[in-house]
Chain A
Amino acid sequence: MLFGIEWDTSTSWAFAWSILPILLRGMVVTIQASLLGFFVALGLGLLLASLKGVPLKIIAWPAAFITEFLRDTPLLIQLFFLYYVLPDYGIVLPAFLTGALALGVQYSAYTAEVYRAGIQAVPRGQKEAARALNLSERLAFIHVILPQAVVRIVPAMGNYLVSIMKDVPVLSVVTVLEMLNVAKIIGDRTFNYLIPLTMVGALYLLLTLIASWGVRVLDTRLPKRGIPLK
Chain B
Amino acid sequence: MEWTRYIDPLLQGCWVTIELTVYSTILGALLAFGAGMGKLSHNPLIKALSVTYIEVFRGTSLLVQLFWLYFALPLLGELIGLDLRFHPVSVGVLALGLNIGAYGAEVVRGAVQAVPRTQYEAAKALNFTRTQTLWRIALPQALPEMMPPFGNLAVQNLKDTALVSLISLGDLAFRAEQLRNLTQDSTTIYTMVLFMYFGMALVLAALMGLLERHVGRWRHRRR
Contacts and interface: CB of A to CB of B under 8 A. Distances in A.
Contacts of B58: 208
A84 B173 contact: no
Interface string A124-165: 000000000000000000000000000000000000000001
Contact of B159 (A72, A193, A205): A72
B190 A77 contact: yes
Interface stretch (A1-9, A39-47, A50-58, A196-204): A196-204
Question: How big is chain A's contact interface, by range?
Answer: 35 or more
B94 interface: no
Contacts of B76: 194
Interface stretch (A95-103, A168-176, A214-222): A168-176
A1 B108 CA distance: 46
Interface string A164-195: 01111110110000001000100100001110
A17 interface: no
A205 B60 contact: yes
B198 A69 contact: yes
Contact of B176 (A77, A78, A170, A208): A77
Contact of A75 (B155, B159, B193): B159
Contacts of A81: 186, 190-191, 194
A77 B194 contact: yes
A85 B186 contact: yes
Given A88-B187, A166-B60, A73 B197 contact: yes
B180 interface: yes
Nearest to B63: A169
A76 interface: yes
Q: Is the interface of B mostly helix, strand, loop or mixed?
A: helix
Contacts of A61: none
B68 interface: yes
A80 interface: yes
Question: How big is chain B's contact interface, by range?
Answer: 35 or more
B18 to A, nearest CB: 14
Contacts of A204: 59-61, 64
B90 interface: no
Nearest to B155: A72
B212 interface: no
Contacts of A85: 186-187, 190
B198 A180 contact: no
A94 interface: no
Interface string B57-71: 011111111011001
A88 B72 CA distance: 38
Contacts of A73: 159, 194, 197-198, 201
Contacts of B202: 72
B202 to A, nearest CB: 7
A72 B72 contact: no
Contacts of A88: 186-187
Nearest to B165: A76
A198 B72 contact: yes
A200 B64 contact: yes
A201 B56 CA distance: 9
A193 B197 contact: no
